Amino acid sequence: MRSIFPAVIALLFSAGLASAEGQVIEKVETYAVSGRTGPELYASIGARGPLLAGKVRSIAHTSFRLTWQRDYQQRGTACVLASAKPKLVITTVLPKAVQPLDEPVRGNWQRFVEGVTAHEKVHGTFIRELVKEIEKATIGLAVENDPGCRKIREKMQPILGEISQTERRKSRDFDEVEMNDGGAVHQLVLQLVNGG
């Protein structure tokens, strides 16, 4: 989860949405989890989950790559960002049990994965909102006395930084609520580990 536990990774599928405004590609990858009981599955998640910042294991993780096709136009002595088309690739990594599971573990595992997937979809929504905020804040931006369209790029950097920090803060706050005692992800873990 943008920060919870499990990286043998297998590409499951990718879906692309293209429009005049840009392109969004969504990918789901999995890593193998072994075990036949809830505690065994969760222990495997803790051992194999995606590494965040190279040191903390997570149950699942959503990341993104964002590039832009920007049209800077010279209008007199001013430079204007006339349009900006994003290409956004969102990648979610989820756990996948590799052994057949018996009931009630199978049902508990299915509910766990569905809950984790729902959690990650919220992070995907935050990422899409980030792109919209960048568009809103930068398209139409003009800088006077910028014949080479250099100043406008410098002016955009703090704007982009602030929007990025806001998205990171929203994601961290969401994870904190979901993973603390009583939170949705915390409950999923308890149900998996204690449910069979």
| Span 116-129, pLDDT tens digits | 999 999 999 999 99
What CA–CA distance (Å, rounded) separates 32 from 59?
A: 12
pLDDT band at 14 (very low <50, low <70, confident <90, very high): very low
Report helix angle 184-194 to 151-179, nearest 10.
Answer: 40
| Chain centroid, CA 76 distance in Å | 41
Percent helix, strand and coil across the chain, each to the nearest 5 = 45, 30, 25
Q: Is the pLDDT of residue 196 over 80?
A: no
- 19 pairs with which residues across the strands? 22
The residue that leads in pLDDT, 189 or 10, is: 189
Q: What is the pTM of this model?
A: 0.84
Q: Is the dihedral of CA 12, 17, 21, 22 positive or negative?
A: positive
What CA–CA distance (Å, rounded) separates 66 from 125?
A: 14
Burial of 83 (0-12, 13-18, 19+ CB in 10 A): middle
Q: Is the pLDDT of residue 110 over 80?
A: yes
Residues 6+ apart with CB under 8 A from 88: 22, 23, 24, 25, 64, 65, 66, 127, 128, 131
What CA–CA distance (Å, rounded) separates 164 from 183?
A: 25
The HSE-up count of residue 88 (CA atoms within 13 Å, CB side) is: 25
Of 1-15, 81-95, 100-114, give the lowest mean pLDDT range: 1-15
Pairing of strands 51-52, 61-75: unpaired
* 54 close to 118: Cβ distance less than 8 angstroms: no
Beta strands in 37-140 (DSSP E): 51-52, 56-57, 61-75, 78-97
